[in-house]
Amino acid sequence: MKQEISFIISRDLDRLAEEIRAFKREEDLWKVTGHVTNPAGNLCLHLVGNLNTYVGAILGGSGYVRNREAEFSQKNIPKDDLLHQIQEVKATVTYTLEKLLERQLQGAYPQQVLGYEMTTGFFLLHLSGHLNYHLGQINYLRRVLT
C-alpha cells in the first residue's frame, strides 16, 4: 500500500507543478478574486510545508521546521522557487515512504494531528486528499484569473 500512496502523492505533486507552471503571468500566483482568500502561491507553500512536516519531519526525521504562518503570509516568491520546492518535497516524500515499513502503515501516526488517534496509513490518505483539495482550488483560481 505504501507504494500506491507514494505514487499518488508524487503524481499529484507533479500535477501541482503543472498548475503552477500554467500561470502565464507570475504575478497571478499571488492574486485572489471574489471570496477567495488564499492565492495559489500561498496554497502551494502550504502544501509543501504540510508534506515536509507530516511526512518528511515526523515520519522521516528530516529536521524540517514548519512556519505555517509564513506559508500564508509570504508573497511574490518566484515561480521557479515554488517549482523547486515542489520537486524537493516530492523527493522527500518518495524517500521517506520508501523507507517506511508496510507494518508501520497499520501503526499509530506519531501525533494526533486531527485531534484523534489514527493509523499512519489513514493519515497518509488524508494528506493525499488535502493535497487534492488545494490542487483543485489552485486550478479553479488559475482559470478564474486568466
pLDDT band at 70 (very low <50, low <70, confident <90, very high): very high
Eight-state DSSP code of residue 60:
T
Q: 0.75 cut: is pTM over it?
A: yes
Query: If you search the block for the grid coordinates 507514494, which residue do you land on?
Result: 6
Domains along the chain? 2-145 (1.20.120.450)
pLDDT at residue 117, as a whole number: 97
| Tens-digit pLDDT profile for residues 2-48 | 999 999 999 999 999 999 999 999 999 999 998 999 999 999 999 99
| Tens-digit pLDDT profile for residues 36-54 | 999 999 999 999 999 999 9
**DSSP reduced 3-state for 119:** strand
Q: At what angle do helices 79-99 and 40-51 cross, to 10 degrees?
A: 20
Q: Which three cell numbers stand for residue 70?
A: 509564513
The mean per-residue pLDDT over the stretch 93-120 comes to 96
Q: Which three cell numbers stand for residue 17?
A: 507543478
Mean pLDDT of the chain: 97
Residue 146 pLDDT greater than 90, yes or no: no
Q: Which three cell numbers stand for residue 35?
A: 471570496
